[in-house]
Structure formats: structure tokens, C-alpha cells
Amino acid sequence: METRNKSSFTSSLGFILTAAGSAVGVGNIWRFPYLAAKDGGGLFLLVYLGLVLTFGFTLLTTDIAIGRRTGRNAWHAFGAIRPKWGFLGKLTFLVPAIIMTYYAVIGGWVLKYATVYLCGQRSQPAQDGYFIEFITSRVPPVVYLLVFLAITAFVVYSGVEKGIEKFSKVVMPILLLMIVGTAIYSLTLTHTDAHGVTRTGMQGLAVYLIPDFTGMTFSKFLNVLLDAMGQLFFSLSVSMGIMITYGSYVKKDVNLEKSIAQVEFFDTGVAFLAGMMIIPSIFVFSGTEGMAAGPSLMFQSLPKVFDSMGAAGTLVGATFFVMVLFAALTSCLSILETLVSTCMNIFHTDRKKVSLVIGVISAAAAVIVCLGYNVFYFEYTLPNGQTAQILDVLDYISNNFLMPLIAFLTAIFVGWVIKPQWITEEMEEQGAKFGKKRFYAVMVRWVVPVIMAILFLQSTGLLAKISTFIA
């Protein structure tokens, strides 16, 4: 029989920083800026902020409240409430299990770049083909991912209070200071190119903040909306069991509504500052053309920017990649902790044994994914038209298929099976006030299911087929 989680956070600050650490990952510092650059700058910011305050609030509240009230991780939480809905917990467990296999690979890439810049080798990463040559080699990427995973496993092995919470309390303030400092520095930059055109960091900030409606159509706006919603999943760690697990560690005297608002503020603030740090820098040295680099922005475009800064680029590059490394570690910690917590309850064994076993299994799976760029290379066309390798396929399954589906099913479960009052009762535990309970009820019963169904159909390519069939 499954048991309640015995571990707990020692304070609400520990929970907030740990939850924010899970949310503040590579997605905030890498994915958010390039989506903002692609989707009209300020327009994307406004859409994303609106989604955070509505969908983000609803999904985050649901996950954390379920975790705290049941005292269980996602695998057991849904079944503990309604046995027939236990399948949803198993489905949710698949998300961190899949993400863990490739997140460690990306973490290894970040560790490699941080090491290069800390060693003062600024020019190497700026060379054409450097990144491709690195990820397609057989040994170095594997070594870096194993080191990254070893650090992650050690912290989880140490436990919630002495490991994860302690690590987050130290790393998150440092991460925030590094982001703020680098963002301010990026606004002071100025550069005159070969054509005599001078661009400044403040001009880049204007590109970032001012909404661009040029050529905007309903179809393009829908794409912006879908990009922002995808970023929301990627960023807030919702619908993947992580926040349910962390919720099960939260003590009853913690005000959940206040804590959730602080997690949202922290996460969105870091994403905003990351954009303010990256977009002006890219604009100054590469213009608007450089901002269209997309997913390759962090590993291929930014190193060229750092190299263009001269000697200062070594320090700025090192600071940036150490910062991204911290963010990647805090997110990977939350993913591995979810897997360890679940397996501890399933197999009724202690944390240290489970951490070692899950660590070894994750390492083996990550090595296979890492070798997907050479030994196990193949090309597969996804439903969205993208040509993918192993890492891309796993990312698509977790982010584009499973997470929207889980969010839809969770909204149906809470909105129509156990009813929103079940969540409200937990939010109002020990006399706490839940000021947004009516808004929450409307969102979880009506708005979230409809939008999640549309997002699921769009991300799987079914929406386009349905539209074509109707037309």
C-alpha cells in the first residue's frame, strides 16, 4: 500500500525557491527569449503574461493543492482521490521519465560551454561548426552529460531538506543576481558595424518591449498564442507531476495562494530578465537578423556575440553559461526528484538506493539519446513537419503530446469529477483565504479543457486535418 511522503520543506521560502528553481530552467533563459524575438517582442510578452495569470495560476494551483492534500506524488495522488482515475497518475509519470533522458544531454552541452569560457577560450565556441562538431562527436558529450547527471543525482541522494532545499536556497539567489547584473550590462552595450550603423542596447530593449503587429493575422496570432502556451508548460513545470510531488512536501501552515503567486512572479521575472539580457545583446552585434536564429541562439549565435565583445566577452560568456548551468541543474533536480519519490513509494525502499538505481538508468538512457547524433542517428518527420532525431522525438512526445493531454484530463478530473471545491478546501486550510476561488472554478471547469483540447489537436497536427476535412 502506498504511503504519504514523509519528507517536507522546512519553510515556505524553501518551497518557493525550490519550486521556482524547477520552473526557472533552460526554457526561461534560452527558449523564452528566442520565442519573444520570433513572435513580435512585446506582443509575445503580453500574451505570455496573460496566460501565466490565468492558465499558469490554474494549473499550478491544481498540481500543488493535489499534492499537499493527498500527501502523495502524482503516481498515487489521483488514485488516492478516485481509484478509477489512477491511470492519470501513471500517465503523468511518463513526462519526467521521458524528459530526464534528454534534459541531462542538454545539461551536458551547457556544462561544456561553461567549462570552455571559464578556461578563457572565448573564440573557440564562436567558430562555425563548433557546436555541431561537439554534439556529433562520440565521447566528449557523453562525458559532460555524465558529470552533469552525477551532480544532479548527488543532490537528490542527499534528500529534500539537506539536498534539494539547501541547494536551491544557495543557487537561486546567486542565479537571480547573475541574471540581473548581465541584463543591466547588456543595456550599456554599443557597436558600430562594417556599414557604419551603430546599434545600442537600449534600442535592442525597445525591440524586445514594443509590440510588433506588422503583418499580423488571426492565424499568426494563434501561432503566438500556441508558442506562449507551450512555453508556459515548459517553464512552470505543470502537468508533469513535479509540482504535485513538491506540493506533497509542503506543510499545512504554508499559505498556498501566496506561495503560488510568488513562484509565478519569480519564474516570469527571470524569463523577462533573460529576454532583456539576450535580445539587446544579439541586436547590438547582429541586428534583427541575428535574433531570428531560433533554437540555435544559445549555442551558436550568442558565442559569436561574446567573441565580438573582445576581452569582456570571456567574462560575460562565462557568467552566462554558469548561470544557465545553475538553471539547468535546478530543473533537472526537480525531474529526478519526481522519479525518485515515485519509485520510493512504489518499491517501498529508501532514497539512497532508489537515487542510485534511477541515476544509473537515467545515465544509460541519456547516453543513447546523446549518441542519437552519431551512432544512432536517424531522421523522422514529426506531425508538425519538423525533421527530428531521438532528442527531438522525445521532446515532442513529452511537450507537444503528453502535457496538453494531461492538462486536459486533469481539468476534467478536477472540474467535473471531484469539483473545484475540493481544491478550494485545501487552499483555505487553517483559515487561509483563497481570493480567486470563483475565477479558479471557471477556469478549471470551462476554459482550460477547451483550450487544452485545441492545443492538443494543434500540436499533434489533427487540427489542420480536421480543418481541411471540414473545408
Mean pLDDT, rounded, of the chain = 88
> Structural domain of residue 297, as residue ranges?
12-374
Query: Is 22 within 8 Å of 244 (Cβ atoms)?
Result: no
Percent share of the chain, pLDDT over 90: 55
Higher pLDDT, 62 or 13: 62
Burial class (CB in 10 A: 0-12, 13-18, 19+), 159: middle
Burial 413-437 (b: 16+ CB within 10 A, else e): bbbeeeebeebbebbebeeeebebb
User: What pLDDT, on a 0 to 100 scale, did the predictor assign at position 6?
Assistant: 53
> Bridge partners of 332?
none
Reduced DSSP (H G I as helix, E B as strand, rest coil) percent helix, strand, coil of the chain, to 5: 80, 5, 20
User: What pLDDT, on a 0 to 100 scale, did the predictor assign at position 23?
Assistant: 59
Average pLDDT for residues 269-278, to the nearest whole number? Answer: 88
Query: Is 388 within 8 Å of 379 (Cβ atoms)?
Result: yes
Confidence band of 439 (pLDDT split at 50, 70, 90): very high
pLDDT digits (tens, 9 = 90+) for 59-75: 999 999 999 999 999 99
Instruction: Return d(Cα 284, Cα 114) in angstroms, integer.
Output: 23
pLDDT digits (tens, 9 = 90+) for 376-412: 999 999 886 778 899 989 988 998 889 989 999 999 9
Please check whether residue 390 lies inside any domain of the structure: no
Please check whether residue 419 lies inside any domain of the structure: no
Residue 442 phi, psi (nearest 5): -65, -45
- What total of structural domains would you count in the chain? 1
Please check whether residue 86 lies inside any domain of the structure: yes
User: What pLDDT, on a 0 to 100 scale, did the predictor assign at position 400?
Assistant: 82
Higher pLDDT, 270 or 461: 270
> Bridge partners of 190?
200
Confidence band of 39 (pLDDT split at 50, 70, 90): confident
Which spans in 119-217 are helix H? 130-136, 140-157, 166-187, 201-209
Instruction: Return d(Cα 137, Cα 353) in angstroms, integer.
Output: 33
Confidence band of 342 (pLDDT split at 50, 70, 90): very high
Grid cell locating 339: 522519479
Please check whether residue 385 lies inside any domain of the structure: no
Query: Is 366 within 8 Å of 105 (Cβ atoms)?
Result: yes
pLDDT digits (tens, 9 = 90+) for 161-203: 666 777 777 777 888 888 888 889 889 989 898 889 999 999 9
Contacts of 303 (CB under 8 A, 6+ apart): 113, 125, 126, 130, 317
User: What pLDDT, on a 0 to 100 scale, did the predictor assign at position 298?
Assistant: 84
Please check whether residue 426 lies inside any domain of the structure: no
What is the end-to-end Cα distance of the chain in Å, rounded? Answer: 53
pLDDT digits (tens, 9 = 90+) for 229-244: 888 887 888 899 999 9
Q: Is the pLDDT of residue 456 over 60?
A: yes
User: What pLDDT, on a 0 to 100 scale, did the predictor assign at position 26?
Assistant: 75
Q: Is the pLDDT of residue 293 over 70?
A: no
Please check whether residue 5 lies inside any domain of the structure: no
Average pLDDT for residues 139-151, to the nearest whole number? Answer: 97
Confidence band of 218 (pLDDT split at 50, 70, 90): confident
User: What pLDDT, on a 0 to 100 scale, did the predictor assign at position 378?
Assistant: 94
CATH number where 127 lies: 1.10.4160.10
Pick from 15-19, 24-28, 76-80, 99-103: least confident = 15-19
Please check whether residue 424 lies inside any domain of the structure: no
Q: Is the pLDDT of residue 353 over 70?
A: yes
Among residues 356, 262, 277, 318, the alpha carbon closest in space to that of 21 is found at 262
Grid cell locating 57: 495560476
Grid cell locating 175: 542565479
Q: Is the pLDDT of residue 314 over 90?
A: yes
Give the CA distances from residue 337 to residues 34, 110, 151, 343, 433, in Å, rounded to whole numbers and listed in that order.
29, 21, 13, 10, 30
Contacts of 442 (CB under 8 A, 6+ apart): none
Among all chains, which residue has been given the C-alpha cell 554599443? Answer: 190
Average pLDDT for residues 438-442, to the nearest whole number? Answer: 98
Please check whether residue 215 lies inside any domain of the structure: yes
User: What pLDDT, on a 0 to 100 scale, did the predictor assign at position 1?
Assistant: 46
How many C-beta atoms lie closer than 10 Å to residue 149's C-beta? 24
Query: Is 122 within 8 Å of 313 (Cβ atoms)?
Result: yes
pLDDT digits (tens, 9 = 90+) for 357-368: 999 999 999 999
